[in-house]
């Protein structure tokens, strides 16, 4: 069975994605930050490898992927870990900048540095990053988030160009609207979540991307909400 590593695995999108890949017969290596998140992953996925890893820390990321590699071949990585914040562009602080870049870009960078050597040991492998509409067209009140998600897309695409000869395919996933998560429901109590993107749709999309052959590679997938 192939093995997939999923970052941000305890989150609303990551946990559903882990379920979809497990149901499809994949072995799981699940990474998130914090003892409570790891305990949740252990309870939900007792057969998975689980890791409490702060992926903004290069050594922590390397240690986790060293353990994954020691357990067997790694076929795919879904770099779902990330975060969102809003602030007026001209009022954003250096701390705001560091926070957005750490959550979205540094986590991906450290993941890729640790995972790509494992992925390229296989004849064919796959890595995915998650961007956002703000990373394509910008977004008012979210300039730093948009900049970080734009960097995610550029980095993943660049990895694909560089490591294609080594059998690595990369894809960028764009949720093109609000995702139906508990946090978003709490933050927008007056909105209609029936028009939002279901996490299962994103998870199914990621499985589709991960299981394409080199002759049917999909480098980008935009998943739209019902109202968009």
pLDDT tens by residue, 132-181: 999 999 999 999 999 999 999 999 999 999 999 999 999 999 999 989 88
pLDDT tens by residue, the chain, 228 residues: 999 999 999 999 999 999 999 999 999 999 999 999 999 999 999 999 999 999 999 999 999 999 999 999 999 999 999 999 999 999 999 999 999 999 999 999 999 999 999 999 999 999 999 999 999 999 999 999 999 999 999 999 999 999 999 999 999 999 999 898 888 888 889 888 988 999 999 999 999 999 999 999 999 999 998 764
0.85 surpassed by pTM: yes
What is the predicted pLDDT for the residue at 107? 98
Domain count, the chain: 1
d(CA 15, CA 38): 12
What is the predicted pLDDT for the residue at 96? 97
- The boundaries of the domain holding residue 76 are 3-224
Q: Which long-range contacts (CB under 8 A, 24 or more apart) does 68-74 make?
A: 68/3, 68/5, 68/29, 68/118, 69/118, 71/3, 71/29, 72/3, 72/27, 73/3, 73/118, 73/121, 73/122, 74/3, 74/5, 74/29, 74/115, 74/118, 74/119, 74/121, 74/122, 74/125
CATH of the domain at 61: 3.40.50.720
What is the predicted pLDDT for the residue at 227? 62
Q: Would you tell me how many other CB atoms lie within 10 Å of the CB of residue 162?
A: 12
> Dihedral sign, CA of 130, 110, 15, 96?
negative
């Amino acid at each position: 069975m192939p093995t997939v590593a999923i970052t941000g695995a305890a989150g609303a999108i990551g946990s559903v994605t882990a379920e979809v890949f497990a149901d499809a017969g994949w072995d799981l290596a699940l990474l998130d930050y914090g003892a409570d998140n790891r305990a949740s992953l252990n309870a939900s996925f007792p057969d998975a490898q689980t890791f409490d890893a702060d992926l903004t820390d290069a050594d922590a990321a390397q240690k986790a992927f060293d353990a994954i590699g020691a357990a067997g071949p790694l076929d795919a990585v879904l770099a779902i870990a990330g975060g969102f914040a809003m602030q007026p562009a001209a009022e954003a602080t250096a701390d705001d900048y560091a926070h957005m870049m750490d959550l979205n870009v540094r986590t991906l960078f450290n993941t890729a540095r640790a995972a790509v050597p494992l992925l390229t040991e296989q004849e064919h492998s796959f890595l995915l990053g998650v961007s956002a509409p703000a990373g394509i067209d910008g977004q008012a009140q979210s300039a730093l988030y948009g900049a970080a998600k734009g960097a995610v897309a550029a980095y993943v695409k660049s990895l694909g160009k560089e490591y294609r000869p080594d059998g690595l395919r990369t894809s960028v996933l764009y949720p093109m609207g609000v995702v139906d998560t508990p946090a978003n429901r709490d933050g927008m109590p007056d909105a209609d979540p029936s028009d939002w993107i279901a996490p299962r749709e994103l998870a199914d999309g990621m499985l589709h991307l991960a299981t394409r052959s080199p002759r049917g590679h999909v480098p980008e997938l935009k998943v739209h909400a019902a109202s968009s």
